[in-house]
Amino acid sequence: MRRTKEEAAQTRQEILRKAEQLFLMNGYENVTLEEIAAAASVTRGAVHWHFKNKQGILFALRDEFREPLSALAEEMMQDNASKPLDALADFVEKMFTTLHTDKRNKGMLRVMMYFDAVEPGAADKQAFQQALLLALTQIFTAADNRKKLSAPWTPAMAAALLSSSIRGLMLEWALDDATFELVPDGQNFIRMILKNWQA
């Protein structure tokens, strides 16, 4: 029997959720595709069909981070009454809280750091970073259009610097010898930056 697009999408999400749970519980390197398939009640072939390999699952989990930010960017571009930089600060604060709540996320970030290091020019990494930068640029453009972005900052410059700051905080925090926490230190730092950039 042929499966519908909705059923295929549900299967893909189930595989992602079960893989994420296993990665957090046991560590990425200690989880096999067979274990992921069993947890999701699918065949190993189904996992291969949706993600090709375990690295593909990891990149799909990473890409899920981009979707809420892109949705926020669209909302800020369309809602003239919104306060884009306040909304962005709230978004980053919530993201840092989510990462901070479960310390196992440090392990996941370290795995992603490793793959980015061994494949620095990978097309999927570049696409991910470009999508994040685009979403941030749109948010800063919305702020600029409302005269809420102070000079000399341009949307592109602000987006590039904030993206680097967020990424740097997350990667430093993922290291065992980090001397700060994402909550509240990282949150306060990002809010300070965005407050200083508001006109």
The pLDDT assigned to 83 comes to 92
The pLDDT assigned to 134 comes to 95
Structure tokens at 1: 């029997």
Rounded distance between C-alpha atoms, residue 19 and residue 122, angstroms: 22
pTM (two decimals): 0.83
**Nearest partner of 55 among 79, 87, 29, judged by Cα:** 29
The pLDDT assigned to 119 comes to 62
The pLDDT assigned to 176 comes to 73
- Spell out the domains of the chain, with CATH numbers in brackets: 1-52 (1.10.10.60), 61-197 (1.10.357.10)
The pLDDT assigned to 72 comes to 94
Q: Which long-range contacts (CB under 8 A, 24 or more apart) does 164-173 make?
A: 165/189, 165/190, 165/193, 166/92, 166/190, 169/96, 170/99, 170/109, 171/109, 171/113, 173/99, 173/106, 173/109
User: Are 167 and 176 spatial neighbours (Cβ–Cβ below 8 Å)?
Assistant: no
The pLDDT assigned to 92 comes to 96
Query: What is the mean pLDDT, run by run of 10 residues, along the chain of 199 residues?
Result: 79 94 87 96 94 89 85 91 93 94 81 69 71 95 95 96 94 86 96 95
**Nearest partner of 20 among 87, 121, 136, 102, judged by Cα:** 102
The pLDDT assigned to 1 comes to 45
DSSP H helical ranges for 79-122: 84-101, 105-118
The pLDDT assigned to 28 comes to 85
The pLDDT assigned to 126 comes to 74
What totals of helices (H) and strands (E) does the chain contain, helices first? 9, 0
3-state SS, residue 198? strand
